[in-house]
Amino acid sequence: MKRGLVALASALAVTGCLSSVAETAQGTAVDHGRALFDDPRTSSSASNTFTCATCHRSEKTELARLDPGAPLGGVTARKSFWGGQRVDLLESINDCRAFFMDARTPWSRDDEDARAMYAFLAQLPPSNPPSDAVPFTIVMPADLPLGDRQRGTIAYDLACKSCHGTVHDGAGRLATFIPVLPDQVVAGHASLSPAELRLVFVTKVRAGAFRGGGSMPPFSREVLADEDLAGILAFFGLD
Ligand code: HEC
Ligand code: HEC
């Protein structure tokens, strides 16, 4: 069972840090970590299609995408993670593996893969100035006033398309179990009022897998403003 966001926040215990693995043999460990970052097998689950790179950028690129996860350049120098909810880097990574990638077994500190991932992350050029935490504000789902269609078109392409594919036909989506937006979701909730239907979308985007299950990541206010999400609803014709 997935824990809720509130339960997640309260369950975040303070433990040691991962820095002891930094001395892992560089060359090979970094290469191994880099390969792992782009490999869905960082989770042993057969149903997982995500890699770390699905949600995080690792090097400074001009990738036109709004990532739900923070950029990871400089992450090993941060003092806390998940917007300050976590103080342990390995646990932060294991959260992603468990919540979004359906991994059943957390990496331990001695795990070769965990060490390689650390070695890879540690040598990334910092993408942000070093900070205590990258801001990650959870927004409680609530109905939104109808937004700007044009803004929503852009936001959809940057935030949703990499997983859901093209709007209305799903072309290029990551997997067939990922619904075609908005059509399959609208069809699946035919009995709902327009306001209730909008709330299905808002809830999924704001809470992701933490409410109602699944594997979609939540989008924080910093990544996706309410105006962007309202725009996406307008783009979907959900008025
Ligand atoms: C489906 C999307 C998704 C996938 C896949 C994913 N993450 Fe995350 N990750 C997130 C989100 C959302 C957060 C919380 C916001 C944040 O702090 O970045 C997060 C947080 C983190 C953090 C804390 C960053 C910080 O500074 O707060 C680390 C480290 C991390 N992930 C590493 C990984 C690694 C390594 C993998 C691959 C094994 C991975 N993630 C896979 C979405 C994802
Ligand atoms: C990292 C991949 C990923 C991204 C990015 C993503 N989604 Fe999803 N989404 C999924 C997956 C996987 C599912 C199906 C499993 C689940 O419900 O989590 C899903 C399901 C949904 C659903 C179905 C909810 C329901 O109850 O039927 C909606 C609505 C949705 N996504 C909207 C969005 C919107 C809008 C965006 C962009 C702001 C977006 N998603 C971005 C992976 C993603």
pLDDT per position as a tens digit, 26-62:
558 999 999 999 999 999 999 999 999 999 988 766 6
CATH topology of domain 149-235: Cytochrome Bc1 Complex; Chain D, domain 2 (1.10.760)
The residue length of the chain stands at 239
pLDDT in tens, 192-215: 999 999 999 999 999 999 999 999
Q: Please give the Cα distance from 38 to 232 (Å, whole number).
A: 28
Q: Please give the Cα distance from 1 to 14 (Å, whole number).
A: 23
Q: Which residue has the tokens 């700007």?
A: 148
Cis peptide before 194 (omega within 30 of 0): no
CB 115 within 8 A of CB 21: yes
Q: Which of 15-19, 67-71, 78-82, 170-174 shows the lowest mean pLDDT across its residues?
A: 15-19
CB 79 within 8 A of CB 87: yes
| pLDDT at position 127 | 72
20 or 135, which is more confident? 135
Ligand 1 centroid–CA 125 distance in Å is 17
37 or 8, which is more confident? 37
Which pair of structure tokens corresponds to residue 24?
């892992």
Count of CB atoms within 10 A of residue 199's CB?
17
Cis peptide before 182 (omega within 30 of 0): yes
Count of CB atoms within 10 A of residue 27's CB?
8
164 CA to centre of own chain? 14
- Ranges of CATH 1.10.760.10 domains, the chain: 5-122
pLDDT in tens, 119-136: 999 999 887 677 788 999
Q: Please give the Cα distance from 113 to 99 (Å, whole number).
A: 18
Task: Tell me the CATH number for domain 5-122.
Answer: 1.10.760.10
Which pair of structure tokens corresponds to residue 39?
């490999």
With cut-offs at 50, 70 and 90, classify the pLDDT of residue 92. very high
Beta bridge partners of 86: 81
CB 51 within 8 A of CB 39: yes
Ligand 2 centroid–CA 44 distance in Å is 22
Average of per-residue pLDDT values in the chain: 88
| pLDDT at position 64 | 85
31 or 15, which is more confident? 31
CB 183 within 8 A of CB 168: yes
Question: Does the Cβ of 92 fall within 6 Å of ligand 1?
Answer: yes
Q: Whose CA is nearest to atom 41 of ligand 2?
A: 160
Residue 209, phi then psi, degrees to nearest 5: -70, -10
Q: Please give the Cα distance from 68 to 57 (Å, whole number).
A: 10
Hey, which of 49, 164, 191, 228 would you mutate to test ligand 2's pocket, going by the most ligand atoms within 8 Å of its Cβ? 164
| pLDDT at position 154 | 98
Q: Whose CA is nearest to atom 23 of ligand 2?
A: 185
Ligand 2 centroid–CA 110 distance in Å is 34
